[in-house]
Chains A and B, each alone.
Chain A
Amino acid sequence: MFEKEGMMIDEAPMTYVKKINSHEFLLGHGKPTLLSQVDIELTERCNNNCIHCCINLPEDDADAESREMSTDFVKGILTEIASQGCLTVRFTGGEPLLRSDFSEIYLFTRRLGMRVILFTNARLITPELAELFARIPLGNLIEVSVYGMTSESYDRVAGCVGAYGEFRRGVELLQHYQVPFFVKGPKLRFLQDEQEEFEAWAKTIPSMEHQPPGYSMNFELRSRRDDPLKNRTITKLRATPEESVAMLSRDPLALEEMVVFCSNFIGPPGDTLFDCGAGHGCCIDSYGHAQLCLPLRDPESVVNLHDVSLKSVLEEAFPVMRQIKATNPDYLRRCARCFLKGLCEQCPAKSWMEYGTLDTPVEYFCEVAHAKARFLGLLGADEMGWEVENWRERVERPARSVEG
């Protein structure tokens, strides 16, 4: 409330200190930060071998380990992103806790004033680590993936004997040290009978009182296109379009969100491929490559940070990549003109995983999106999303009104 060179710097303040709406990454004046969140994959190796996983390599893969970013390299990246204003770092993998330098990297990140999101299967949580998270909290809930409620089912999904016991012990340690965490899991048919038990257990976790567990069901294929056999399994495990709709109808909140989303954001994207958030932030893979988004590993769209600074990737390389246009005639005939694009998981990363190009319509996601659109009343039984001219009228109508 005092002034400098004739300029009043504040009205009489009620309070000098303001909480920031950090989850929306807005600073005190409502401005977004330049680089709100960076995802860093610390390793592709994992102590699980989940049947639906798109990325994992064996825990003892010495070649992968030797190519991973060194501790100093990770610290260099963390320092650079902190200087660019990054507020949150998400550590993911593989299993990030497999790295023996995890605690060191974690502390380094927190001391730079960045908060942490951690994706883990919790098997490697030790008393020391849980105590560290209690003393120096992440600033976000840890996200623990759960692959079953019995050793039989969990170990079957995780492809690993004894994994369940270690997961339970890890979670108990988090609870003992009162470290807040969130649980999520794959929606697999053979876990169906355990769903109630999983959800009842999730409700007993203090940090999950007000939110149900998260599910994944429309699994991605191997994101490095490295394992056709596993892709065949993943294809069989994916929720069918009907199952995807059933899940949607089970969750009125998600349904409501989807309807609001539709009325605000869906519409034909034209030939612009990256109409998403890709390249506005940054993702870094285990070997130090900057990616436009976490699943997009097309070698032509990643930049090796051993050769180029992150700043120039963000200011020069990514903006150019974001301009890439679709050229595939099938994409131009369908996706470019399809008003369901915002409802559909079709994206350059998924196209690359499935077909090795950035602009091929992914048939699986196309079918799921059409089933959801029909359920929401946005499409008639035989219509296709790219054929609808009056889509604006339809998305403005209340939920499911087309169906009556």
Chain B
Amino acid sequence: MAKREYSYYPGCSSQKGASSSNLMKSVDTMCQELDIQLNEIPDWNCCSASIGYASGSELPRLTLSARNIALSEEHNKNQEIVATCAACWLATKEAAERLKEDESMFAEANTALAEAGLKLQNTTPIKHMAEVIIEDIGLDEIKAGVKKPLEGIKIAGYVGCQTNRPFGIAGESFENPMYLDHLVDSLGADSIPTYEKKVQCCGGALAFSEPEKSQEMIKGIIEAAYDNEADMIATPCPLCQANVEIYQDQINEKYNTKFNIPVVYYSQLISVAYGRSASDAALDGQLIKAKKLEDIAGK
């Protein structure tokens, strides 16, 4: 396998001790296995996610992302930027596109960047880690490296919103993307291609500000997974993972349900399938333990 190198934008929630540190750790493991080298963008900043808009208006937000791209262009020359968080990817890619379309905005962003001694070229492609797996590497190659097929695990592939829209993976439909199911199959597990909530919104950032409204939607996502007899839910998105996993107790309390379904990252699936340990796959980071994965990892 040829070595691949990318400029890496981890994002706030994937930092050590943050809510999706398990994503970060399992991505590390996965990249070791897939011979991917991630070079963290030095001194990267928050992208302001999909909630920053209310206080930070358009240009300040675009400038935040522009700073990350500029830093990458300066320090990680000629490397495509890769993000693991859907919101980070979206904000960065959107900023890059908007600044490409609007010259005056591009000029103003650079004026602002100059205050921090930076300059944006804006020629760098911005990728999601899922694109690296599906497009750059390809599922055939992924499949070839599987050491411990995830046999006997039925997995609801939950793609969510922002990994899927508005950009998504090339060639996939917005209404029913299939790549996550195909990945699940490649790893030897059983996918549920008809999982009806695969692109349902979990509430995103509004899970904090509008917990009840959001939890009603999360309930639907979990219910459908149970209806399809899934053993666990897998997702590429840190916010999806957190929202669907951590509120299960509160939902149980409110709706009198007995939800207790693990929600894992695709990177954890790959790590285990490639024969790595439970702790390398950051399975200890699960609030709801993914027993079946742990068993395979322990074998």
To the question of whether A and B form a pair in one complex, the answer is no
Residues of B at the A interface (CB closer than 8 Å) are none
